[in-house]
Each structure stands twice: as C-alpha cells, then as structure tokens.
Amino acid sequence: MLSIVCLQAATTTVTTTKPSAPAAPSTNNNNNASKQPEKEEPSTVAELSRYHFELCHPFEGKRSTTQADQLVWLASRLVTRLPVRFLGAKGQKDLWKTVNEHSLPARGFNLRKYKKRQQQHKGVDSRGRDIGEYTAKEWGIRQEKRVTLSCLQLQSQRFRELRDRQKRGFVDYQTGDQVLVTDSEYTEEKQRRREMERLSRELYGAERMARQGKLALDPEWDDVVPIVMEDPENALAAIAYSPDYAEAMSYLRAVMSAKEYSPRSLKLTEYIINLNPAHYTVWLFRAANIFAMKLPIPDEITWLNQIALENLKNYQIWHHRNLLVEHYHPSIASDPPALASFATSEREFLTQILAEDTKNYHVWSYRSWMVGKLGVWGNPEELRSTEELIEQDVRNNSAWSHRFYLVFSDPENCTPGEKYAATEADPKVPGEIVDREVAYAEEKIRLAPQNQSGWNYLRGVLVKGGRGLSSVREFAEEFVKGLGEGEEGEEVRSSHALDLLAEVYKELGERERADLCLRRLMEKWDRIRGGYWQWRREGLELAEVAA
C-alpha cells in the first residue's frame, strides 16, 4: 500500500517537471564503460550484454542531482517494473507521457538477470581465454555445448538408474523381462563419460575441473572407492609417476583389499602391467585372479609371451610363468603327449626370446627349472637348441651352464636325489658321456683358446666324471710352448690352459712345474690376478714360495 501512495506522489511530480533526461547519458560520458552505440558496435558478449542493459536502463549507475532527472529516472524504473495498470488513470497517462517524451525503454531484462549474465561471462575457458571476450557466435557455440553436457549428464544418470534397477533385480513393467544393462550400453556410457569429461574441461577449464582418470570415468568401476595413496611431508624416494598410474594403483589397492577376483580385476592388472611390468604384487594378484576364476593357463601363457618379448629384463614375468606352469603341470602330468607338446611350445618360445637376448638370466633360470619340471631330459632338441647358441657365440656362458645341467642332472646320467654336489664326482655318470663332453669342450676351446667358459666346462666335466685333471694334460699343453724358456721361446695361447696345467702338474706331483705355471701367470700372462696366483703358489707348499 505504501508503495502505491509513493508511486502516486512520484507520478504527480513527474508530470509537473520539465524533463532534462535525454541529456543524462551524454552528461555522464566520463563513465568509460558506456559506449555510444552509434559509434561502435559491441562485439564481445560482455560488451553486448552491457549494451543491452544500458539500452534498458539508461540511468543505471548514473546520478543526477536535479529533480527533473530524478523524475525521468523514476519513470523509467516504474515502467519496466510495475504493471502500469496499478497506477491511477492520470498516473498512467503521465507516466506514458514522460516515457514517450524521453524515449525511455519500457521493457528489458532486469538487474538480477543482468548480474547473472555477468556471472556467466566471468572466468576463463580451457584455453585461458576470458569468456567475456567471446563473440556472440562463439557464445552461442558454447551455450550449445553446455546444453549437450546437460543432456549427457541426464543420459548418464539414466544409465546409473538402469544399472541400479538391474542390480536390484527389477523387471521391466512393460515387457516383464529382467532389467538388463547391455554391453553396448556400457560402451556407450564409457564414451559418453569421456565426452562429458572433455566437454567439462573445455567449458570450465582445467583448474575448475580436475582431470578424471580413465578408471574414474569407466562405468565398470563406479562401485569401487579407490584407496588413494598420499605421501606425508617427509618421505623418501617418491617417484614422479603419471596420474594414470597413481589412479590405477588406488583402484588396485581397493580390489586387493576386498579380495575381489573378477574379470575387471584381471583387466586392471593388465592395465597396470602395461604401465609398470615390474611390480611383483600386481603379478601375484593377477595369478590369484587366474586361479580363483579357474581361467585356462595356456591362454595366460600366450598373453604372457607378448609381455615377455616387450620386457626382456623383467624378473616378475618369469616368476609368474613359473607359478602358472607349477599350477598347470598336475593337469597334464599323466598325459605324456600333452606334456611333450607343452614342453615343445615352451622351448619354441624360449628359443625365440633367447634369440633377442642370448644371456638373459631370468630366461635361462626358468629354462633349467622347466627342464626339471617337465622332464625334458634326454630330449635331443633341448640339447641341440643350446648347442646352437654356443655355436653362435662360443663365449655364451649361460648356454654352457645349461648344457652342464642338461647332461649331468639327467636322471639317466646321475645318482638321484642330488646326492653329489655340482663340484663333486658322481660315480653314476657314464664314461662315454664324459668322453663326449670332454671332446665337445676341447673342440670349442680350440676355436677360442682364451674363452674361460670352455675351460670351466672342461674342468667341471672332468671333476664330475671322476677323471683326473691330468687326463687332459696333452690337450692343455697344446696352448703352452716353451714355458720358462725366456721371453722369446715362451708362447702361451691361453692363460686358462696355464691355470689348468698348474693343477695338472700339482696332481702329478710336479710341484716345481706347477709353480712355474703360476709364477708365469703372475709375472706375465695374467698379471691382474697377481694376488691370487701368489696364493695358489703358497698352496703348493714349496719352500721358496713361502719365503
């Protein structure tokens, strides 16, 4: 009521005053925000909304002291804010008169709306550009994106509801079927979320929208609360890894903690293994998943082959393989053809990977274990593929070691139960095997006399076969001529031959000659091991060496 009284008073005043309102905008042109629309078209959305606002509110933000100006201002306020019919007939007439005289805008958005607009124009987009600087067209595109995002959010909401209904076992009221979320709906939702994430980031910038990880966006993981790891202020050896890895680990922690063995857990281990194949825990969790879900081991081995080829220096991969085969073996142990074919496929893969890295320790360790587990003894293929590697590189000590194992741990050739140590003679080793291996070593040593692998092998074979080292005296002497006969006459083609000869002569009781070998090694042929040769000389217990 009060307002109407005031209004009447005001309108009365308006009618009795000579207006000077049209001058008002121009008299206030020191306000730099106000632009003369005739002079410059507003181009950005901020300018445009200000321009529209000013058109509707010619007096907004301007103050005039004259009563006439104030009346015009009041008229402009009234005409835009009140239904005019509330005024009396005279009041209406006067109001319209003033409005017409001063061309006052009779409609227009109000201050609240304007403030809202201004709010929308604040801030920066994902490229750091001020949104107020957008052209009307760009603004339109942006608005369209916002609408798209809202629609996607609705669809996503619908998806969640549908999945929730499925979980609760609801039926469709029209068809009476169980509510089911199809795979394609999952895929769509996944894409939708990626799109939503992209749009959000584009619209609101990286600062306001923290990047969501792959798993957080995946509808499959909605029900898992990741266990995020946070380092305290003082921590050692933090690694600057990617946000993707951090996210994946936080989900892994959640599923491991819940002992969730499921296809998605398995998928998660694969994802993490691709990011970091060296995390032993992930591998153990993967194995647990495979065993819990009773997945076929050969499939896993096929998958593993590719990972192994991509990560040659990885230890965990081979431990995992070991575990798989250990688990798989009982199911084929009583089926010789299956066992043989599995052993063959293993050998083929090992040959392939050793071609990439001939001395890979993990592969060779696995190989020797595999031979024992699958009983590949006596398989000529196994020996042949090892021989091939020695032929390619006679200094490949891994292949030599494997050969020793293949020959001398073969149940056919040795006393069972590891009764004799690797460095001890085993009476069960057949003489012809020892002959064959001695011949093999000698042949390879002739190819490369300074190759230690061959000499170590020869020595190992003689010890294992219970033969004296002196049985290869002539062979070793081939590499040493004129020992101790002065710089000119002395010719040594292998320091290892000299080393072995020292033992040969010691065995034969020719201690002086043994000492000569060691002395010449120390003085000339292998000086870097001076301390060692001296120690060996002391072991001969010759009077003058000790002195």
Partner 1 sequence: MTADDLPNPEPTLDIDRHLKYWKMCLQSPLPHHYLSNEGNRMALAYFIINSIAILTPHANNNNNNNNNNNNTDNNLITPQDRRKLRKWVLSHQHPGGGFSPASSLVYPLHGYEQSEPETGSQPAEAAGMANAPGTLFALQLLALLADEDDPERAFDGVDRAQTLRWLRRLQRKDGSFGEVLRLLPGQGWFIGGGYDMRYCYIAASIRWMLRGDVEEGEPGWVEDIDKERLTSYILSSQTYDGGFAGSSQEEPHAGYAYCAISALSLLDRPLQTTSQPPPPSPSLSRIRDLPALIHWLTSRQFIYLEHPPPVAEQEEEEEDPVNFLLPPLTSLSLSPPLIASNGRTNKVADTCYTWWVVAALSNLCQLQLLGDWAPARRFLLEKMAHRIGGFSKYPGGPPDVYHSCFGLTVMSLMGEPGLQKLDGGLAVPVVTVGVIEQARGELLRRARGEGKGKGVVELGLRMRGGTTRPGWLRGVN
User: Interaction with partner 1 in 484-503: which residues (CB under 8 A)?
Assistant: 492-495
Helices (H), ranges, 375-430: 380-392, 397-408
Q: Which residue has the tokens 């062979």?
A: 475
From the list 421, 543, 546, 547, which residue makes contact with partner 1 (rule: CB under 8 A)?
421
Binding span for partner 1 by CB under 8 A among 35-43, 73-81, 196-204, 281-289: 281-289
Distance CA 150, CA 536 (A): 85
Q: Is residue 287 part of the contact set for partner 1 (CB under 8 A)?
A: yes
- Minimum CB–partner distance for residue 349 and partner 1 (Å): 19
Q: Which residues of 454-490 are buried (b: 16+ CB within 10 A; e: fewer)?
A: bbbbbbbbbbbbebebbebeebbeebbeebeeeeeee
In sequence order, the 6+-apart residues with CB closer than 8 A to the CB of 376 are: 343, 347, 370, 382
Binding span for partner 1 by CB under 8 A among 34-42, 100-108, 140-148, 359-367: 359-367
From the list 456, 475, 510, 542, which residue makes contact with partner 1 (rule: CB under 8 A)?
456
Nearer CB in complex with partner 1: 44/265: 265
Binding span for partner 1 by CB under 8 A among 1-9, 88-96, 190-198, 237-245: 237-245
- Minimum CB–partner distance for residue 297 and partner 1 (Å): 13
From the list 40, 299, 412, 424, which residue makes contact with partner 1 (rule: CB under 8 A)?
424
Helices (H), ranges, 393-529: 397-408, 431-447, 452-464, 473-477, 486-489, 495-507, 511-520
Give 491's strand partners: 481
Distance of CA 49 to CAs 114, 204, 268, 440, Å? 8, 21, 51, 94
Distance CA 63, CA 60 (A): 8
Binding span for partner 1 by CB under 8 A among 27-35, 104-112, 149-157, 232-240: 232-240
Q: Is residue 425 part of the contact set for partner 1 (CB under 8 A)?
A: no
Nearer CB in complex with partner 1: 208/527: 527
Binding string, residues 505-524; x marks residues near partner 1 by CB under 8 A: -------------------x
- Minimum CB–partner distance for residue 484 and partner 1 (Å): 15
Q: Is residue 49 part of the contact set for partner 1 (CB under 8 A)?
A: no
Burial class of 519 by CB neighbour count within 10 A (0 to 12, 13 to 18, 19+): middle
The residues in 200-229 that bind partner 1, with binding defined as CB under 8 A, are 227, 229
Q: Is residue 235 part of the contact set for partner 1 (CB under 8 A)?
A: yes
Q: Is residue 245 part of the contact set for partner 1 (CB under 8 A)?
A: yes
Q: Is residue 118 part of the contact set for partner 1 (CB under 8 A)?
A: no
From the list 76, 374, 526, 537, which residue makes contact with partner 1 (rule: CB under 8 A)?
526
Q: Is residue 322 part of the contact set for partner 1 (CB under 8 A)?
A: yes
Distance of CA 26 to CAs 39, 42, 59, 153, Å? 13, 18, 11, 48
The residues in 77-106 that bind partner 1, with binding defined as CB under 8 A, are none
- Minimum CB–partner distance for residue 201 and partner 1 (Å): 23
Q: Is residue 372 part of the contact set for partner 1 (CB under 8 A)?
A: yes
From the list 395, 467, 511, 519, which residue makes contact with partner 1 (rule: CB under 8 A)?
395
From the list 53, 134, 349, 408, which residue makes contact with partner 1 (rule: CB under 8 A)?
408
Distance CA 173, CA 380 (A): 69
From the list 21, 72, 256, 308, which residue makes contact with partner 1 (rule: CB under 8 A)?
256
Distance CA 14, CA 84 (A): 15
Number of residues lying near partner 1 (CB under 8 A): 90
From the list 337, 486, 509, 531, which residue makes contact with partner 1 (rule: CB under 8 A)?
531
HSE-CB at 370 with a 13 A cutoff on CA atoms is 29
Q: Is residue 351 part of the contact set for partner 1 (CB under 8 A)?
A: no
Binding span for partner 1 by CB under 8 A among 25-33, 104-112, 204-212, 459-467: 459-467
From the list 451, 506, 517, 537, which residue makes contact with partner 1 (rule: CB under 8 A)?
451
Sign of CA dihedral 418, 423, 427, 433: positive
Q: Is residue 62 part of the contact set for partner 1 (CB under 8 A)?
A: no
Nearer CB in complex with partner 1: 232/380: 232
Q: Is 259 left (phi over 0), alpha (psi -120 to 50) or beta?
A: left
Distance CA 382, CA 526 (A): 36
Binding span for partner 1 by CB under 8 A among 46-54, 88-96, 102-110, 318-326: 318-326
Nearer CB in complex with partner 1: 198/419: 419
Q: Is residue 447 part of the contact set for partner 1 (CB under 8 A)?
A: no
Binding span for partner 1 by CB under 8 A among 99-107, 114-122, 124-132, 401-409: 401-409
Binding span for partner 1 by CB under 8 A among 70-78, 172-180, 397-405, 510-518: 397-405
Q: Is residue 265 part of the contact set for partner 1 (CB under 8 A)?
A: no
Distance CA 197, CA 156 (A): 12
Tokens at 186, concatenated: 């999952």
Instruction: Report helix angle 380-392 to 336-356, nearest 10.
Output: 10
Q: Is residue 385 part of the contact set for partner 1 (CB under 8 A)?
A: no
Q: Is 207 left (phi over 0), alpha (psi -120 to 50) or beta?
A: alpha
Q: Is residue 546 part of the contact set for partner 1 (CB under 8 A)?
A: no
Nearer CB in complex with partner 1: 64/409: 409
Nearer CB in complex with partner 1: 219/277: 277
CB 157 within 8 A of CB 150: no
Amino acid at 78: L
Amino acid at 232: P
Give 171's strand partners: 178
Which run of H or of E encompasses 301? helix 297-310
From the list 110, 276, 305, 470, which residue makes contact with partner 1 (rule: CB under 8 A)?
276
